[in-house]
């Protein structure tokens, strides 16, 4: 049996370049205006910043208020929970609850003060 002959392959091509008309100017051919010159505008802004003293950067001194507030809250709450646990030491539930409260509060306060809050 003879197979029927296969049709020739189709070839696809782009149109010749002379058929396209350029709608926009080529890169670098656009006329420059002083109104839209970003580099000149930014340079003007920098000279204003430097003349006003806004360019001077000084490192911030770390605040000691965070550590003071941390230790105050930690000692106060742990003393309260520890006192309740000491007075209720005959009841295992109260003792365990106060111990767990101390652990959770200490961990939570430490995480909030030193992990979550960046600037205090």
Q: How far is CA 4 from CA 8, 12, 63, 68, in A?
A: 12, 24, 90, 94
The whole-number pLDDT of residue 40 equals 86
Question: Could you tell me if 55 and 49 are in contact, meaning their C-beta atoms sit under 8 angstroms apart?
Answer: yes
Domain extents for the chain? 65-116
10-residue stretch averages of pLDDT, the chain, 120 residues long? 84 75 72 76 90 80 84 97 94 95 97 86
Within 13 Å and on the Cβ side, how many CA atoms surround 81? 18
């Amino acid at each position: 049996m003879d197979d029927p002959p296969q049709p020739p392959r189709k070839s696809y091509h782009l149109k010749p370049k002379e058929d396209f008309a350029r709608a926009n100017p080529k890169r670098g051919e656009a006329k420059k205006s002083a109104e839209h010159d970003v580099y000149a505008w930014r340079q003007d802004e920098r000279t204003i910043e430097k003349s006003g003293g806004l360019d001077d950067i000084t490192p911030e001194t770390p605040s000691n208020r965070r550590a003071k507030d941390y230790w105050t809250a930690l000692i106060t709450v742990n003393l309260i929970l520890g006192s309740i646990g000491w007075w209720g030491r005959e009841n295992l539930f109260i003792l365990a609850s106060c111990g767990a409260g101390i652990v959770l509060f200490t961990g939570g306060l430490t995480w909030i003060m030193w992990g979550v809050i960046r600037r205090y």
